[in-house]
Amino acid sequence: MPAVDSVAAGLPNIDPALFVVPTAARLQTPVPSTHAPRILLLHGSVRERSYSRLASEEAARLLQAMGAETRTFDPRGLPLPDDAPDTHPKVQQLRQLAQWAEGMVWTSPERHGGMTGIMKAQIDWIPLADGALRPTQGKTLAVMQVSGGSQSFNAVNQLRMLGRWMRMLTIPNQSSVAKAFLEFDEAGRMKPSAYYDRIADVMEELVKFTLLTRDVSPYLVDRYSERKENTEALFRRVNQKSI
């Protein structure tokens, strides 16, 4: 592999000191994590018989069977964003779970052609940055939706866009359950179907991607522009005329 200086020599807009050539070696973890993958599940409805919650519960059962540790956030009692201080107990609970998780599952009903406000409120309460920590950056994400009518992908498309905005590693697969009221029995368990099989596929893929990326996520999301910005900020701070 050519030296960094020689590569950057033909790139006048690049600072050679901050230019890093990606290597496969940096993706190898000397001591891989051995604990169970930690997955947080969020759902976007507080109805007594919430199909997004029931689908999320099925996802949690599958994840646990695949060796993951799961936690589910109950959105009941969560205030609207900016309608309460971030010291609110439900906000603190959500943020602590986001810090704990290595991956997430977001499941929303489709309402008026998009995700629900309850779903969006949960995501909005998770900050992009919390001091030096970024609660979602580099973590894996699976997106799912349930619909009352024919199959649609509006909610999962919106969730996927938000996952990118939250700088998460959103897996390629996703699930959309049409006419969800027909897919669950009286006990709230999902009936056998292609929809159930698809949720199994999504959870399997999520566990694989989480195991693959969790130890190297800081390297995967390391960016030239941020290294440059951080270096410039440090330079300004240490070269102040007075402090």
Classify burial at 63, counting beta carbons within 10 Å of its beta carbon; exposed 0-12, middle 13-18, buried 19 or more: buried
Give the residue among 209, 180, 172 at the shortest CA–CA distance from 196: 180
Task: Kindly report, residue by residue over 100-125, the tens digit of the pLDDT.
Answer: 999 999 999 999 999 999 999 999 99
3-state secondary structure of 191: coil
| pTM of the complete model | 0.89
Q: Indicate the helix (H) or strand (E) that contains 176.
A: strand 175-177
Task: Kindly report, residue by residue over 27-72, the tens digit of the pLDDT.
Answer: 888 889 999 999 999 999 999 999 999 999 999 999 999 999 999 9
- The confidence band for 228, taking pLDDT boundaries of 50, 70 and 90, is confident
Please report, in angstroms and rounded to a whole number, the separation of the first and last CA atoms in the chain. Answer: 44
- The confidence band for 243, taking pLDDT boundaries of 50, 70 and 90, is very low
Q: Provide mean pLDDT across the span 176-202.
A: 97
Q: What DSSP state is assigned to residue 145?
A: E
3-state secondary structure of 239: coil
Distance (Å, whole) CA 192 – CA 64: 19
Question: In sequence order, which residues have a C-beta less than 8 Å from that of residue 237 and are 6 or more positions away?
Answer: none
Strand pairing category for 169-170 and 175-177:
unpaired
Residue 54: both structure tokens together:
């029931």
Q: Output the average pLDDT for the chain.
A: 90
- The confidence band for 93, taking pLDDT boundaries of 50, 70 and 90, is very high
